[in-house]
Structure 1
Amino acid sequence: MDQVKFGTELISRLMDHLSSQLDGCVGVGLSVWPDGRLMRAVGRAAELDQLQLDGADGPLVVASRDERQTVGQVGGVDVVAVPGSWGNGGPVVLTVYLDHAPRGEDLKAIEEIEPLVATAASVVEFCAGEVLRADQMVRMVQHRRYIEQAKGLVMGARPCAPGEAFELLVRASQHANVKLRDVATALVLVVGGALEDSAEETVEPPRVAFDAARRLWDGLRK
C-alpha cells in the first residue's frame, strides 16, 4: 500500500535525522513487539538489537516487557531503549546507541523524535493489517496526551524545560519500576482529579504508580 511505503520512508528519515542530531550516536533501531521484529536499523543497531533478542536480556527486552524507558549497556555500548505503547498488541521500542553515557541533551533529542517514529510505525502496521487495531492506536495517542499533561504539571510546579520535566517523570517511573504512562496518568489524577478527554475504557494505574506520583509531586512542591 502507498501508506505503508510512505510510512516506512518517514520512519527511515526520522531515524536518520535522530542519528545525525546525536553526537557519538553509533546506531538507532526500531522493533515491534511482542515478537521482537526489527522494523528498521541504522548503524550498529541491527547487530546490537539482535544480541539482546538472542540473549532475551538487555535494555531493549526490559523496555518491551515493562514498557518503560531503560538505560544500560550492550556489548560495551551505551543504549537508551524507549517504548511507545500500542496497548495489548505490545509496544514498539526505539533503541539509541551511543559511545557515551546518555546526557540530558541526548534524552531531549530522543524525546522529541520518538513519538513521531512510534506514530509512523503504528500507521505502517495498521495499514499492513498487522499488530495494530484502530482502538489500540487511539489508546497510544491517549497515553501520550497524559504524558504531556503530566509534563505540564511538573513544569508548573518546578519551572523547567520540557526535557527536564520528562526526565523527572522517567526517573520516578524507573525508581518505582512502573510504566512511564502509568506514573504520568497517576500524576494527572493525583493533581487534577480527572483526565482530560479520557475514554471510558481508560484503565486506572496501579497503586504503585499513584505512590510514585505522590512522591514526585510532594518533592516538587518543597
Structure 2
Amino acid sequence: MDQVKFGTELISRLMDHLCSRLDGCEGAGLSVWPEGTLLRAVGVAAELDAEQLSSGAGPLVDASRDERQVSGQVAGTHVLAVPGSWGDGGPVVLTVYLSHAPTVEDLAAIEEVEPLVATAAAVVEFCAGEVLRADQMVRMVQHRRYIEQAKGLVMGARPCTPGEAFELLVRTSQHANVKLRDVATALVLTVGGTLEDSTDDVAAPPDAALEVAERLWEALRHLRPE
C-alpha cells in the first residue's frame, strides 16, 4: 500500500480528541505564523488565536518565533502554545486554552497528541488535500530538512534565533513570490554545491529560487562575523 488519504477531517478529529482528554479545556487552535492563518479552531481558540495573529503578539507568536513551548494567558484564559511542523507560511502552532494553569497531566496529553496534529497539518499543507503517494511523503520530509539546514546557514551568517532565521526566509520567499521550500533548497544548494541525501526524486529548485538564494547569501556574507 503506497498511498494514504489525509485531510482536514483528520485534524479536526485529533483536536476534538485532545479537548475531550483535558479537564477544563475551553478550546484548541491550529495556526500558522508569520503567515497569520487560522487553520482550525475549537471553542474560544477561534477568537483568541485570531486576536494573536492580528496583533502579532502573544504565546502563539512567541512559540513560533522562538521555536519553543510557551505558556501564558490571553484575555484571562490560560493557554499553552506548541510549535510543530513547518510549511511555506511558517511554523504550525497548536494552542490549547484551559480554565486553569496547565498541569503535568495536561502537558502529557498535549505532548502525546501534538505530533500527530503537526504531521497531519504538514501533509495537508504539502499536498493540498490530495491523495498522498509514498514518494510525495519522502519529498515532504526532504524539503523540511532543507528548511532546517537553510535556517542553520542564516544563523551562522548573522546572530539570530531559529525563529528569526525562519522569518527572514519567509519574508524573502514572499517578497520574491517563490515558495519557501524552493528558496531553502536553493540556499542549501548555493552554499553547499549539492543537496544532502539527494535522489532522482528530488527536483532541482527553479531558476527563480536559485537567483533569490544567491542574492540572499551574498547579502548574508557581508554580515558574517570575521
TM-score with structure 1 setting the length: 0.57
Q: Report the AA paired with residue 75 of structure 2.
A: G
Q: What is the CA–CA distance in structure 1 between the aligned matches of 2:103 and 2:64, rounded to whole Å?
A: 22
The 1:42/1:141 distance shift into structure 2, 3 A limit, reads: farther
The secondary structure found in structure 2 opposite 1:85 is strand
Instruction: Trace 1:193-204 onto structure 2 (pairs within 5 A).
Output: 200=196
Give the 5 Å matches for 1:70-219.
70-86=70-86, 90-128=90-128, 135=139, 137-138=141-142, 200=196
Query: In the alignment, is the contact (CA less than 8 A) between 2:68 and 2:82 conserved in 1?
Result: yes
Cα offsets for 1:133-163 (capped at 9, x unmatched): 9655347589xxxxxxxxxxxxxxxxxxxxx
Shift, 1:14, TM fit: 0.3
Cα 1:139–1:113 shift into 2, 3 Å: farther
The alignment partner of 1:120 has SS state of helix
Q: Which runs of 5+ in 2 are unaligned?
A: 130-135, 147-160, 163-194, 198-226
RMSD: 3.4
Distance 2:4 2:19 in 1: 24
Count of matched residue pairs: 147
Q: Which has the larger helix fraction?
A: 1
Aligned mates of 1:31, 1:108 — CA distance in 2: 21
For the 8 Å contact 2:87–2:126, the answer to whether it is kept is: no
Asked whether 1:17 is paired with 2:17, we answer yes
Q: Which has the larger radius of gyration?
A: 2
- Partners of 2:4 and 2:124 in 1: CA distance: 7
TM-score if structure 2 supplies the norm length? 0.56
Q: Hey, what's the Cα distance between the residues in 1 that align with 2:63 and 2:143?
A: 18
Q: How far did residue 52 of structure 1 move?
A: 1.0
